[in-house]
Amino acid sequence: MAKEKKQVEAITSMDVDFAQWYTDIVKKAELVEYSGIKGCMIIRPTGYAIWELIQKELDARFKATGVENVYMPMFIPESLLNKEKDHVEGFAPEVAWVTHGGNEPLQERMCVRPTSETLFCDFYSRIIESHRDLPKLYNQWCSVVRWEKTTRPFLRSMEFLWQEGHTAHATAEEAQERTIQMLNLYADFCEDTLAIPMVRGQKTDKEKFAGAKATYTIEALMHDGKALQSGTSHNFGDGFAKAFDIQYTDKENKLQYVHQTSWGMTTRLIGAVIMVHGDNNGLVLPPAIAPTQVVIIPIRQQAEGVLETADKIREKLGGCRVKVDDSDKSPGWKFAEHEMRGVPVRIEIGPKDIEAGQAMVARRDTGEKVAIAIDDLETEIPKLLERIQKEMLERARVHRDEHTYDAHNAEEMADIAANKPGFIRAMWCGDRACEDSLKETAGITSRCMPFAQETIADTCVCCGKPAKKLVYWGKAY
């Protein structure tokens, strides 16, 4: 019993220290291990299995829109990077440089990709000639390196995994349509698969991607009231095309510049899942991305017929990701361990259950425990997993809405920012000075200008001038 208690006591309560609670979970649930390289993480099998499920679902959604996968080099020559001035300035502080090959200094230093816009632009300038070559709809799965000063597993590390889509189009209208299409794809994925509701909108000019014409974002609210940018989609217009001379001949045989987009999601999504759904007992995984959706715990497994029945149940649930835990640990220890790992459903089966023709079924998300006839498990468990997925999304949506506040003036804004963690909706005049002032005085940043615009006041929350946009503000990771 002492060992079983220790399993949970190892997690700091989220109400005591949310940051330590997060660290405890990623370690105890064996998602990552710290590496010998400062700021880099080792993604362990469970963490990587979650990423593989995310990758599989996203990749299928990309391909359904016509996107193809490619792979670009990980090194970018400095001269190539310098072709787009705004882009370079935006990433300069985070770039890692390679200066030697073996023992010899390089004639031109190369950076380890922080992102691949310049590589794709160079590629497109070589292969696009005619309107018949468009559109180009490419994506790559890879890692990137950004020299971060402060790191935290999944949320911010010097090297992380992601996908980056890069498309080229004949017209500005097509590029804008693709930009919004991919943002909505991201939001739908997060809600359907990760059970995390999103606010969809456009970044302010201050917060947009370096070199972009416009940046669009999906923003999620974590359990502690901080926002997490969960995916972005950028419309580059023809700015990169002009810098890299990406032209095509149109149907009238005239030279035109292409219009481009870029969009990306990273392993920080795993951090979002932890911070939206987790509790003081560990991970709570949505069934769609749980490496093990159902764990079967044999009770008194040495008794006749118990392991055999557990295996038969596993076979019946072949459409789910199922594991029988027949290790020599006590049932109580197994319960705590699989709770820690966030397995959505636990089935307990012992001699008395077999005699009664039933199994005890426990939900990880609510702790609810019910008896289900063994013969009904095959049909009832998939239904239960589907119900858990939907209810997790609904609870996260309720939490977000209950922690979204409206501010109508500077005093309300300051009070909410100081005392009520969450999103703050407030009107803005569009002036960069007001945006900077709110960061200085209230410690909040603009998260996005939502697509669903409302007018909750006539004047800017900061300066009192006429308002132009409703903005979601907040403290963020």
DSSP string, 289-308: G-S-SEEEEESSTTSTTHHH
Cβ neighbours for 36, distance < 8 A, ≥ 6 positions apart: none
What pTM does this model have? 0.95
CA separation for the pair 147, 180 (Å, rounded): 30
The pLDDT value given to residue 347: 98
For the stretch 88-135, pLDDT in tens is 777 778 899 999 999 999 999 999 999 999 999 999 999 999 999 999
For the stretch 346-392, pLDDT in tens is 999 999 999 999 999 999 999 999 999 999 999 999 999 999 999 99
For the stretch 175-205, pLDDT in tens is 999 999 999 999 999 999 999 999 999 999 9
The pLDDT value given to residue 19: 96
The pLDDT value given to residue 299: 96
Owner of token pair 């010899």: 104
Residue 263 has pLDDT above 50, yes or no: yes
Half-sphere exposure of 363 (CA within 13 A, CB side): 20
Q: Which CATH superfamily is domain 404-474 in?
A: C-terminal domain of ProRS (3.30.110.30)
pLDDT band per the 50, 70, 90 thresholds, residue 172: very high
CA separation for the pair 166, 356 (Å, rounded): 58
CA separation for the pair 392, 389 (Å, rounded): 5
For the segment 209-227, the average pLDDT, to the nearest whole number, is 96
The pLDDT value given to residue 5: 46
CA separation for the pair 384, 293 (Å, rounded): 11
The second-level CATH assignment, the architecture, of 17-277 is 2-Layer Sandwich (3.30)
What DSSP character marks residue 129? -
| Residue 372 near residue 359, CB atoms below 8 Å | yes
Cβ neighbours for 438, distance < 8 A, ≥ 6 positions apart: 413, 444, 445, 446, 461, 462, 473
Residue 2 has pLDDT above 70, yes or no: no
pLDDT band per the 50, 70, 90 thresholds, residue 10: confident
pLDDT band per the 50, 70, 90 thresholds, residue 9: low
Q: Which of 159, 147, 134, 349 is nearest to 260 (CA)?
A: 134
Q: Are strands 96-101 and 104-112 parallel, antiparallel or unpaired?
A: antiparallel
Question: For 292-386, which CATH class?
Answer: alpha beta
State which amino acid sits at residue 104.
E
For the stretch 295-311, pLDDT in tens is 999 999 989 999 999 99
The pLDDT value given to residue 170: 98
Per domain, the residue ranges of the chain are: 17-277, 292-386, 404-474
